[in-house]
Amino acid sequence: MGITLEQAQAAVLAAHKKALEMGVKMNIAVVDAGANLVAFARMDDAWLGSLDISIKKAKTARFFDMPTGAIGGLSQPGGPLYHIEHSNGGLITFPGGIPLKDASGKVIGAIGVSGSTVEDDHAVAEAGVGAVSSH
């Protein structure tokens, strides 16, 4: 549904390469348009707790077709989506999850990255996005 395994693996590979360049240890997950896992890689000695977070970031980005950080801006106390994290078996709404689109701009899946600061996570996820959009 949406992304192919070949595209998903290209995204994981590009994100992995970027993480190596940055010297960070990441969990990298790609889900399809149905928000189901297609490809995953956990780098050696990456935080164990980031495994689940990377998958939840990818799912969250596809659930709402926007970067996870954008949802986090709305889920704060007093915000319009306060505590949306309680839905769907647990969402992660800080940066590191980004939708993946085909050439026409249609969302075909999402990538989620976790293992460092949210800025690093987002940067590595962007590398994965680049591999799909240029495919």
Q: Does 65 bind a copy of itself (CB under 8 A)?
A: yes
Q: Out of 58, 91, 98, 125, which residue is the one contacting a copy of itself (CB under 8 A)?
A: 91
Q: Does 64 bind a copy of itself (CB under 8 A)?
A: yes
- Answer for the pair 69, 75: CB distance below 8 angstroms, yes or no: no
Q: Out of 22, 70, 85, 130, which residue is the one contacting a copy of itself (CB under 8 A)?
A: 85
- Answer for the pair 32, 2: CB distance below 8 angstroms, yes or no: yes
Q: Does 98 bind a copy of itself (CB under 8 A)?
A: no
What CA–CA distance (Å, rounded) separates 64 from 82?
15
Q: Does 21 bind a copy of itself (CB under 8 A)?
A: no
Token pair listed for 84: 């949306």
Amino acid (one-letter) located at 97: G
Token pair listed for 51: 């495994």
CB of 117 to a copy of itself, least distance (A): 7
Bridge partners of 29, per DSSP, are 40, 112
Residues of this chain that interact with a copy of itself (CB under 8 A) are 1, 4-5, 8-9, 32-44, 47-53, 56, 60, 62-65, 72, 75-78, 80-95, 117-118
